[in-house]
Structure 1
Amino acid sequence: MSTQWPAGLLLAYYGDDFTGSTDAMEALSAAGVPTLLCLQAPTPELLARFPDVRCVGLAGSSRGRSPQWMDDELPRAFASLAALGAPILQYKVCSTFDSSPHTGSIGRAIDIGVTRMRGKWSPMIVGAPRLKRYQAFGNLFAAVDGEGFRLDRHPTMSRHPVTPMNEADLRVHLRQQTQRRIELIDFVRLRSPDAGARLNALTNDDAPVVMIDVLDEETLAAAGKLVWEGRGEGVFTASSSGLQYALAAHWRSQGLVPQTPGLPDASAVDVIAAVSGSCSPVTAGQISWARDHGFRVERLELRRALDARSREAEIERVVGVAVQAVSEGRSPLVFSAEGPDDPAVLTFDDIASDAGLSRAEAARRVGETLADVMRRLLDRAPVRRVVVAGGDSSGEVASTLGISALSVAAGMAPGAPLCRAWSDDPARDGLEIVLKGGQIGGVSFFGNVRDGASRAASS
């Protein structure tokens, strides 16, 4: 097998939400692989502006969508990416495998995607040690505050309001979403000399899903080797950013990328603006920290925001608070909930029903409202660095701002880089934006984004 990269793109991916899309972009950018994340299907005109790019992503919203939505939308998205000619086409999933047969079905995405490539297997890497995600014998684990949990006992994912994880064995979980054959190369086999032979024995014209355990840097690089050397005429893979980390680890071992990955440090700014639609306890701790450290923290009242009669007034109220904060040199943070036990979360079904909305419609409306808040704030206040917390909210906000593409500008927290926005609108071009998943970042995350490397280095 040649140790040289092929010409052209190395990988193209569709992200099932916007935060995960920037996570995948960060992993390869830090490894020295130029990567561009598009917010709409990439066009030749857009890509011509970035001739050095070796990986292209397309940010999507399928994590919160139905199988019917996937049937309608994903074939076109996958076709646009497959046409770019990369040997690996990825459906980028969350590293906590957020999915169910009815919402964000990873199985349905696989069944749609494998038809776009000619490979005889569909690799799956979910473990990502840098994000504290580990897979052993097919079971997924995640660490929170230094303590590891099997995912069906995870304090957040086991009680996720939309896709609760009640099974940590990903084979069992995925079999509820697809009839496709599912196999596993566990970490014991992966470390043995016959891992490649085992893979060859599993591949066939039915293109089975082959999960690959990842526990540490050794298994990460071994998994990357297996995928890269087994890509053949092209493979489709549903994987987390563990795939990007694995490929980078293998390429590093071959001398194709720098031995020490890294990104530039972010500089400090006077103020940032943030909105949060996350229900995660991690984000709740970050909101509390911001409140105690000089941010102007303001709750978006969901009953008023979801009621068509009061929505406009509620948006204007919180935008007014945020604009005033910026004028005083304070960073505003508008949030819809503060952790899974917030009354707004516990009564969300009632709030949605009173507004005449389904739960899914109401959740999307919250994201749209936060997007309106951010758009109006940027139109009225001199803010050039923003944060959006929550996967669904990130998609709504980024889509509203007229951004064509994102590239990584600096490191921030693993899985949540500081991005540079590319836009035809001069008011948005060059905007710095962080799209943060609910579980990502330390307690001082919002302060780190504002203060850049100086605070990040000390916290």
Structure 2
Amino acid sequence: MILGVIADDFTGASDIANTIAKGLPPHGGLKTAQFLGVPLFDAPREVEAGVVALKSRTIPVADAVNQSLKALAWLLAQGCEQIVFKYCSTFDSTELGNIGPVGEALAAALGVKGVVACPAFPGAGRTVYMGHLFVGDRLLNESGLQHHPLTPMTDPDIRRWLGYQTRSPVGFVEHAVVTKGAEAIAEALNSADEVLAIVDATSDDDLATIGRAVVGHKLVTGGSGIAIGLAENFIRSGKAAGTRGVAIGTDGPEAILVGSCSGATRRQIDVHKRSHPTLSIDVDKVMSGEIASDQIVSFITANHGHAPLAYSSNTPDEVDRMQEKYGKTQVASKLDDFFADAARNLIAAGVTRLIVAGGETSGAVVSALDLGALTIGQEIDPGVPVLLSSGNKPIALALKSGNFGSPDFFSKALERMGP
């Protein structure tokens, strides 16, 4: 492998794996595989880019740092020349969160400073201008992310937000420098005294320019968009041949599990339920133990062939009520276990196409399934590819971050996941 990625959640991992595998025209991307946790085995020799998916976004800082350093050691042992620390394009973290400490720990281990920090992903509406993060035409704290149940983003100034988390000051490369080209960006980064530096980006062209500026940099951090130009660097240098994404999938029974409460996901549920069977999960009854995951399994299996969907999504007010009643971590943990158990039983019952919406829910589900390395297939919507496990009975997956995807995402995903 020549390019390694440490992702702080599972949907983000498939998001950046998709970006690297797709690459830029005309050469395409790298042969990419996603690994669920730090592998206990070497990567297949044909893999050029490896993405290690961790569930470290909301765990204690010390644990996130430790897991990330273990992932770094494995990637370096595979021969990786450049490392990407991938976090959410909406910078999901608290003031005491993990992005800063993990970024600084990786930089210290690699002996570098002037490290790019850029969550921009224009394809999904995330842009950074003057150090402020936008979602569409709204500042981050006005986009609905201020209501996130685990990482409410109440400040769009990500320089300031990252500064709360780091031991050293945070640098900044403004858009006026970015528009001057790769050499200007490289000069700004190479002369920086700060470990991490927020870099503006308002378009894919900006991200491609940043990609050219970090040729030879041992560490880059950001959302999946930061990887847009990285594959091209290795192809241009002759270290990779370039490849196009392939259509992969499998036939068989399908299931959709939704644990995200984002506005985009709630709209996708509303669209889906117009013509497909859906099951709303009563969180109060999950917390009290009145319902178990076998009810999801019964509902899904009774509706095979009709794209059945089970969800626990709620409005921000209802989420607040649940968290106040039971505790934020208790609700999250209980629902994660609930969906993970349901997924295990669904696979055992023969489901071979599985869609999971929500970063934390996806992490819980995929950890429970222990599918090993996943092959990256075609893109369903920006940031969401088809994933396929290996073995005699492959499982096709789509792991969707809460705010990603078009209104008809669920039915579109099932079609793309077919053989």
Q: TM-score, normalised by structure 2?
A: 0.90
Query: Alpha-carbon deviation of 1:410?
Result: 2.1
Distance (Å, rounded) in 1 between the aligned partners of 2:154 and 2:233: 33
Q: CA deviation at 1:72?
A: 4.5
Q: Could you give the per-residue CA deviations for residues 186-236 of structure 1, whole angstroms, max 9, x where no partner exists? A: 12112226433333321x5xx52122211123322210111114x1xxx23
From the CA coordinates, give the structure whose radius of gyration is larger: 1
**Aligned-partner Cα distance in 1 for 2:34–2:295:** 33
Residues 431-442 of structure 1 aligned to structure 2 (within 5 Å): 431-442=395-406
SS in structure 2 of the partner of residue 181 of structure 1: coil
**Alignment partner of 2:185 out of 191, 195, 198:** 195
Q: Taking structure 1 as reference, are residues 74 and 256 closer, same or farther at Cα in structure 2, changes over 3 Å only?
A: closer
- Structure 1 pair 100/417, CA: closer, same or farther in 2 (3 Å)? same
Q: Matched residues in 2 for 1:131 and 1:333: separation?
A: 24
Residue equivalent to 1:91: 85
The answer on 1:10 being equivalent to 2:2 is: yes
The structural deviation recorded for 1:91 is: 1.8
**Contact persistence 1:264–1:411 (CA under 8 A):** no
Q: Which of these residues, 56, 77, 87, is aligned with residue 50 of structure 2?
A: 56
RMSD of Structure 2 on Structure 1 (CA): 2.5
TM-superposition CA deviations, 1:34-76 (whole Å, max 9, x none): 111111323444x1xx222111111111112122332443333
C-alpha deviation, 1:150, in angstroms: 1.4
**Equivalent of 1:209 in 196, 204, 208:** 196
Distance 1:212 1:305, change over 3 A: same
2:155 maps to: 167
Deviations 1:343-387 (A, max 9, x none): 3x23212442xxxxx42132022011111112112222x421110
CA contact under 8 A between 2:386 and 2:416: conserved in structure 1? no
In structure 2, C-alpha distance between the alignment counterparts of 1:371 and 1:365, rounded to whole Å: 10
Larger CA deviation: 433-442 vs 265-274: 265-274
The equivalent of 2:262 in structure 1 is 280
Are 1:128 and 1:245, in contact at CA under 8 Å, matched by a contact in 2?
no
Does the CA-based 8 Å contact 2:118-2:222 persist in structure 1? Answer: yes
Residues 251/77 of structure 1: CA separation in 2 closer, same or farther (3 Å cut)? closer
Alignment of 1:16-415 (within 5 A): 16-31=8-23, 32-45=29-42, 47=43, 50-102=44-96, 104-143=97-136, 148-154=137-143, 156-192=144-180, 194-202=184-192, 204=193, 208-229=195-216, 231=217, 235-248=218-231, 263-265=245-247, 271-294=253-276, 296-307=277-288, 309-310=289-290, 313-326=291-304, 329-341=305-317, 343=318, 345-352=319-326, 358-380=327-349, 382-415=350-383
* Partner-residue secondary structure (3-state), 2:146: helix
- Counterparts of 1:75 and 1:131 in 2: how far apart (Å)? 29
Query: How far 1:263 sits from its partner (Å)?
Result: 3.3
C-alpha distance in structure 1 between counterparts of 2:347 and 2:247, whole Å: 24
Partner SS for 2:153? coil
User: Structure 2 unaligned runs (5+)?
Assistant: 24-28
Matching residue's letter, 2:262: S
- Superposed displacement of residue 183, structure 1: 1.0
Count of residues in correspondence between the two structures: 411
